[in-house]
């Protein structure tokens, strides 16, 4: 499960409802939440944050807090 998937599980986010709000297909949301090598697009991150009523930078920090410069 990806960091996004863990976040959705923790917050009890319904993928069908999120899909309806964002226009991102449920299939794509499943890929983003379950496949570690999936790439979250900036537009998707922004739409998801808007649908969850949080700031996109807040979601970005949650999802990518482990990324550091070498």
Kindly write down the DSSP assignment for every residue of 28-49, as one continuous string: HHHHHHH-TT----HHHHHHHH
Domains of the chain: 3-63 (1.10.260)
pLDDT at position 9: 96
When pLDDT is averaged across residues 16-34 and rounded to a whole number, the result is 97
Q: Which of 34, 27, 26 is nearest to 6 (CA)?
A: 34
* Distance from C-alpha of 42 to C-alpha of 19, rounded to nearest angstrom: 16
pTM: 0.91
Digit-coded pLDDT (tens) for 45-64: 999 999 999 999 999 999 99
Residue appearing with tokens 């999120």? 18
| Residue 2: per-residue pLDDT | 95
């Amino acid at each position: 499960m990806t960091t996004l998937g863990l976040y959705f599980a923790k917050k009890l986010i319904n993928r069908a409802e999120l899909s309806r709000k964002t226009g991102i297909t449920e299939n794509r949301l499943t890929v983003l939440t379950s496949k570690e090598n999936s790439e979250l697009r900036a537009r998707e991150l922004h739409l998801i944050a808007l649908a969850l009523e949080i700031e996109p930078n807040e979601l970005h920090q949650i999802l990518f807090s482990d990324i550091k410069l070498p």
